[in-house]
Amino acid sequence: MRLFPFLFVLVLSLGQSVGRAAEPLKVVSDFEGASVREVEIDQETRTISFMPGGDPLRGWPCWWYFRVDGLTPGEAITLKLRGSSVTVPTRGKPLGAEWAMPAQATFSTDGKTWLHTAKGKKQEEWMNYSLQVEGTSAFVAWGPPYTPGMASAFVKRMAEQSPYASADELCRSRGDRPVPMLHVMEGDRKSEERFGVWIQARQHAWESGSSWVAQGFTEWLLSEEPEAAWLRQHAEIFIVPIMDIDNTATGNGGKDAQPHDHNRDWSAEPHWNEIIAAQRQVQDLAVEDRMDVFVDLHNPAPGDPTFFYILPSDLLKEPMIGLRDQFIQLSYARISNGKSSIPMSSKSKTTGPSYHPLWHQMSATWVCMNANPHTVSLCLETAWNTPHSTTEGYREVGANLAATVQEFLAGRPAKP
Ligand SMILES: [Zn+2]
């Protein structure tokens, strides 16, 4: 007697799921940081072909980020990526596709938790990633996005949670966007008696992983670790999670932007507002003889491990060289032993005159040349194309970098 309605419902629901055509797939890119072009959707094979978007005048077109709607929960669709075919002015040809093609793509169903897809499969000029989620919509990207909105929410959250952090603004960009900055110090020690620490990320907008490293640095700094408390009490720390806020907001690559990118703008007359403001603050610290540690965060070339870029030692004097080498050794010991296993090389690469014609206008160079004789100024490149290059892996690199800063400064003479 009770079997009939049960069977009826079963047949009805089977009939619905078999008979219902899948929703058409749709690509959405009308939000902050999104980037995609030349989209073609094959609804039969459930395949989305695309290449990265972005204006080549505003940087390398290697960043891609968009949302896919119309997914049937549990179905596997194919993301079919090729390198941008747009000519990059500084190269006179398109950018190598490898810059846009991580071994694993990144996806999220809620815009908060970012995961890797399985490894993509290369097929001629295409990279095919399989995307399968238990939802009807998913964000997909080159790597875990870190947008201006996320930076501003993070800085605000840290300032609300910690009495030692305040949410500041470095400046407003040429595009009139606020550039969030976090300022950290604990206790009554006067500013002049504190070590100065400057951490910045994303002078190149596509290098989203570097902002996650900055976030990990900040989370460790505001944690309950006794060493973190020591650092807050003995130093004044400035953290800028995104320097090139305009290109990050608009989904442009930033690197090699016209007239030159943020990391070729550290001259006597900077073009970008963020550099004008950062230089001013670094100079203020240097005047007080306390520009102690400056780290500029980046992501490197596709096959690179994590490493530091440094100036050739023949361009520097002691004590800068010895202090720098000591800092690098401490960093390597911590980062290369991290749980997340993002590979790090103990060998630094150099950014002297043979690296780039504008080598002297790069941030870490400029700070070496314009701050104090004891300043440690470095560029840390964190590997992005490894299975561990996730939000967790990046944050752990940042936490280890912060612990390195503490360990290094604890061995330095106290400020008078
Ligand atoms: Zn870079």
pLDDT value at residue 338 = 76
In the reported structure, the alpha carbon of residue 12 is separated from the centroid of ligand 1 by a whole-number distance in angstroms of 57
pLDDT value at residue 12 = 42
Q: Which helix (H) or strand (E) holds 87?
A: strand 87-88
- Residue 287, domain member (yes or no): yes
- Residue 245, domain member (yes or no): yes
- Residue 403, domain member (yes or no): yes
Q: How far apart are CA 404 and CA 354, in angstroms?
A: 30
Same domain, 132 and 153: no
Q: Tokens standing for 307? A: 């490493």
In the reported structure, the alpha carbon of residue 262 is separated from the centroid of ligand 1 by a whole-number distance in angstroms of 9
In the reported structure, the alpha carbon of residue 393 is separated from the centroid of ligand 1 by a whole-number distance in angstroms of 18
Same domain, 89 and 179: no
Q: Which helix (H) or strand (E) holds 109?
A: none
Q: What is the DSSP letter of 135?
A: S
Same domain, 226 and 176: yes
Q: What is the pLDDT of residues 336-384, one digit of tens each?
A: 987 777 889 999 999 988 888 899 999 999 999 999 999 999 999 999 9
- Residue 40, domain member (yes or no): yes
Same domain, 251 and 281: yes
On the 0-12 / 13-18 / 19+ scale of CB atoms within 10 A, 321 is middle
In the reported structure, the alpha carbon of residue 298 is separated from the centroid of ligand 1 by a whole-number distance in angstroms of 5
pLDDT value at residue 339 = 77
Segments of the chain scoring below 70 in pLDDT: 1-20
Backbone φ, ψ for residue 26 (5° rounding): -140, 140
Q: Residue 84 to residues 16, 42, 54: CA-CA distances in angstroms?
A: 41, 20, 9
Q: How far apart are CA 284 and CA 293, in angstroms?
A: 14
Same domain, 121 and 153: no
pLDDT value at residue 352 = 85
CATH number of the domain within which 116 lies? 2.60.40.3120
Number of domains in the chain: 2
Domain of 110 in residue numbering reads as 21-141
Same domain, 135 and 200: no
Same domain, 112 and 166: no
In the reported structure, the alpha carbon of residue 253 is separated from the centroid of ligand 1 by a whole-number distance in angstroms of 10
E-only strand ranges, 159-255 = 165-172, 178-184, 195-201, 235-240
Contact in structure between 184 and 239 (CB atoms under 8 Å): yes
Q: How far apart are CA 149 and CA 32, in angstroms?
A: 8
Same domain, 229 and 193: yes
Of 121, 141, 161, the last residue of a domain is 141
Q: Which helix (H) or strand (E) holds 54?
A: none
Question: Which of 205, 250, 204, 254 has the alpha carbon at shortest distance from 88?
Answer: 254
In the reported structure, the alpha carbon of residue 380 is separated from the centroid of ligand 1 by a whole-number distance in angstroms of 9
- Residue 10, domain member (yes or no): no
Of 141, 163, 190, the last residue of a domain is 141
In the reported structure, the alpha carbon of residue 379 is separated from the centroid of ligand 1 by a whole-number distance in angstroms of 9
Rg of the chain over all Cα atoms, to the nearest angstrom? 23
Q: What is the pLDDT of residues 222-255, one digit of tens each?
A: 999 999 999 999 999 999 999 999 999 999 999 9
pLDDT value at residue 20 = 61
Question: Which of 247, 250, 219, 212 has the alpha carbon at shortest distance from 112?
Answer: 212
CATH number of the domain within which 380 lies? 3.40.630.10
- Residue 234, domain member (yes or no): yes
115 Cα distance to chain centroid: 15
Question: Which of 201, 377, 222 has the alpha carbon at shortest distance from 285?
Answer: 377
- Residue 2, domain member (yes or no): no
pLDDT value at residue 327 = 98
In the reported structure, the alpha carbon of residue 204 is separated from the centroid of ligand 1 by a whole-number distance in angstroms of 5
Q: How far apart are CA 109 and CA 100, in angstroms?
A: 22
In the reported structure, the alpha carbon of residue 248 is separated from the centroid of ligand 1 by a whole-number distance in angstroms of 13
Q: Tokens standing for 194? A: 């504190």
- DSSP secondary structure letters along 298-350: E---TT--BEEEE--GGG--TTHHHHHHHHHHHHHHHHTT-TT---B-SS-EE
Q: How far apart are CA 186 and CA 178, in angstroms?
A: 25
Same domain, 166 and 112: no
Same domain, 109 and 154: no
Number of neighbours of residue 118 by Cβ within 10 angstroms: 13
| 178, HSE (Cβ side, Cα atoms, 13 Å) | 13
Same domain, 173 and 287: yes
- Residue 191, domain member (yes or no): yes
Of 141, 163, 187, the last residue of a domain is 141
Q: Tokens standing for 18? A: 């078999």
Same domain, 65 and 158: no
In the reported structure, the alpha carbon of residue 263 is separated from the centroid of ligand 1 by a whole-number distance in angstroms of 8
